[in-house]
Amino acid sequence: MISQPNDLLIMIKKILIFFVAAGLLSTSHVIAQGYGSDLSDADLKLEETLENFKDHEIAVLRFRVDNRLRTVAFVLFGDDVPKTCENFATKCREGYYDGLAFHRAIPGFLLQTGDPLTRDASQRSTWGTGGPDHTVPAEKGKKIHSKGAVAMARLSPEGPSHGSQFYFSMGKNRGLNGQSTVFGKVVSGMDALQRLSEVAVDANDNPIVEVEIKSARILEPGSQIPKTADELKLSKERKREQRRERANVSESEKSSLDRLLEKYW
């Protein structure tokens, strides 16, 4: 039986000290668990996605945005739309896309590239009209225009797919389902595409500052996606920012706990 007020205070202090030692009054241990791995939530989701497509080839594009060399990787749905994927992979292996510019950027809608005329700045007014001397049969695959979907441009609603021009869907564009052949899905670099979609454009939605594809390559199934030096640096910057955020939260929780202890001590 507790007979004195001091006995009650002593008991409260002991309980508080026990909880503090166990870490049950602080959320900092929960936050730490959330960052217990070097992988972010996006990285973990990426690994899951790649695991689902471990038998698929991977296309890797590189371009500069915000003065950083960035990588965008997407899996190819060769089992769903084989002719489209074969045409695209062949062009990557031939270096067809190297040096081409993105000629259409609309936030929340799409990013388009693949026009060989974009190699010549003097033909800027015609960008978006060029292509190879062949087309690709439009294939009705099973994939939809979700954010990060990659699809071939189409010459007309009932016609074949373009021979080289393709685009990234920057949103859930249900209105495009059934109109263009979706042949890939972004698994890395969506943040770089998002930034690219937000650059200043002219009246034709053409980026004012040219954004050129430095390289487009095909990786074998199961390959690791390589990172550029700029991306490694960016990753370190993000980790430092995460550590600062954790430290700020921990300090905030500590201050609250100190006030609680002072109140009952």
Residue 6 Ramachandran class (φ > 0 left, ψ -120 to 50 alpha, else beta): alpha
- The stretch 180-188 carries a mean pLDDT of 95
Looking at the DSSP assignment, which residues form a beta bridge with residue 65? Answer: 68
Share of the chain above pLDDT 90, in %: 59
Output the pLDDT for position 231. 86
Vertex 122: Cα angle to 195 and 163 (nearest 5): 65
What CA–CA distance (Å, rounded) separates 120 from 209? 14
- Residue 197 clears pLDDT 70, i.e. is over it: yes
Confidence (pLDDT) at 31:
27
CA–CA separation, 57 and 218 (whole Å):
7
Residue whose tokens read 């990234």? 168
pLDDT at 45: 60
| pLDDT the model gives residue 41 | 53
pLDDT value, residue 196: 96
Query: Could you tell me the sign of the dihedral formed by the alpha carbons of 194, 57, 89, 137, in that order?
Result: negative
Give the span between the Cα atoms of 66 and 60, in whole angstroms. 19
Is the pLDDT score of 227 beyond 80? Answer: yes
Q: Are 75 and 53 in contact (CB under 8 A)?
A: yes
Q: Where does the pLDDT of residue 240 fall: very low under 50, low under 70, confident under 90, or very high at 90 and above?
A: confident
Whole-prediction pTM: 0.74
**75 vs 39: CA distance, rounded Å:** 21
Q: Which of 13-17, 36-40, 219-223 has the lowest mean pLDDT?
A: 36-40
Q: Which domains does the chain have, with CATH numbers?
A: 41-227 (2.40.100.10)
